[in-house]
Structure 1
Amino acid sequence: MMIDTNKTFAIHQAAYQGKYEEVKINVLANNRLLTATDDSGWSPLMIAASAGREEVVRLLIGRGANINTRNSGGHSALQYAASKNHQKIVCILMDNCANVNIQDELKATPLHRAASKGNMPALTSLVQCNRCSLNLQDSEGNTPLHLACEEERLDAVRLLLEHGASTQIMNKAGKIPLEMTSCPSIRRLANMNEM
């Protein structure tokens, strides 16, 4: 049985707008709406996580939404929360067994997304999770440290180094993270880390 596209649109809109009661009523009336996706594969949980709707995220998880569902680009709710720097939602998702190392179609993880944007609250929560792999490489061979260096996110570089990110992994272009930046402060920091 197909889910009515109008109901799918309605729950997605309500999730985006943070309309807790409306989401609750719709999900209670039809639990299958938890997994209702749009043409790009976005679920209500992904939308709520991306929009920073903490209460709606808690509601959807509490009703049984699949935390690790991925859309057509391979993105998960945790990737969106990390990308938008919604730290509380990052923590909620991780506390409910979200895969912290989930990779999208380009093999980027939530850590890649937070590091490249310099989203320190989300990044801090991710690196403190003992399940988080700091040195996973994306489809270009870049680790989160490569991206933080390239985007000249000094605080992100510092945090990654403090938690053990490798400075010696080469990407597909044959570059280590330090070679991705011309920022003197990042170069000094990375060199001090190697001593």
Structure 2
Amino acid sequence: WTPLLVAIQKGHEKVASVLLDRGADIEGAKKGGWTPLLIAAQYGNVELVRQLLDRGADIEAANSDGETALLVAAIDGTASVVELLLDRGAEYVNGFEPLHVSCILRDVPKTQKLLGNGANVDSRASGRFTPLTLAAAQPSNER
């Protein structure tokens, strides 16, 4: 782990900014190919993801399992990170389809439209995650 990766994992946005200002490697990865962007996406820190993208982080960088920031955010992160990555041009990869994203975002109208147009409910992102499993993994806003 580099100091930058630790700062990102712990959610220390200002520390990460200082480290990047002082030349920390924005693509410096830990074992398994986990770059700062992938870690920020995994931990659901939209501000760190934004900061890294603004500074030129490779949005399509993948870990050794072929998982990009978009897929990592969909599985472990938050909907706001998924939205930011899509807004910045992240590509669907590893079987990741629009239906997966609409389920993650809990966008019922979009999900209904996609299903009405024949979206494959059995498609698997990264060979493992169906739209239903991704929807079920998202935290509920209901109390």
Normalised-by-shorter TM-score class: 0.7 to 0.9
Residues 109 and 166 (structure 1), Cα distance of their counterparts in 2 relative to 1, 3 Å cut = closer
Q: Which of 1 and 2 has higher RCO (CA within 8 Å, sep 6+)?
A: 2
Deviation readout 1:92-133 (Å, 9 max, x if unpaired)? 10111111x212xxxx42668x48xxx8343649x95xxxxx
Query: Residue 82 of structure 1: which of 74, 85, 100 is its match?
Result: 74
Change in CA separation of 1:13 and 1:84 when aligned onto 2, cut-off 3 Å? same
CA RMSD of aligned residues (A): 3.3
Residue 11 of structure 1 corresponds to which residue in structure 2? Answer: 4
Normalized against structure 2, the TM-score is what?
Answer: 0.72
Partner of 2:89: helix, strand, or coil? coil
CA offsets, 1:115-168, max 9 Å, x none?
8xxx8343649x95xxxxxxxxxxxxxxxxxxxxxxxxxxx7x5641353157x
Is structure 2 residue 31 aligned with structure 1 residue 39? yes
Measure how far apart 1:17 and its partner are: 1.4
Summarize the Cα distance change of 1:78–1:22 in structure 2 as closer, same or farther, 3 Å threshold. Answer: same
Q: 2:22 aligns with which of 21, 24, 29?
A: 29
- In the superposition, the TM-score normalised over structure 1's length comes to 0.54
Contact kept, 8 Å, 2:33 with 2:63, in 1: the verdict is yes
Q: Which runs of 5+ in 2 are unaligned?
A: 123-143
**Code of the aligned partner of 2:103:** M
CA contact (8 A) 2:42 2:77 kept: no
> Could you tell me which residue of structure 2 aligns to residue 93 of structure 1?
85
Q: Which runs of 4+ in 1 moved over 4 A?
A: none
Distance change (3 Å), C-alpha of 1:62 and 1:161: same
Point out where structure 1 has 5 or more consecutive residues left out of the alignment: 1-7, 129-155, 170-195
Deviation of 1:45 after TM superposition, in Å, equals 0.5
Match runs of 1:26-175 below 5 Å:
26-30=19-23, 33-84=25-76, 86-99=78-91, 101-103=92-94, 108-109=95-96, 114=100, 120-122=103-105, 124=107, 160-166=114-120
In structure 2, relative to structure 1, the CA distance for the partners of 1:85 and 1:47 (3 Å cut) is: closer
Partner residue in 1 for 2:128 = none
Question: How many angstroms apart in 1 are the aligned matches of 2:103 and 2:98?
Answer: 11
Larger % of helix: which?
1
Q: CA deviation at 1:9?
A: 1.9
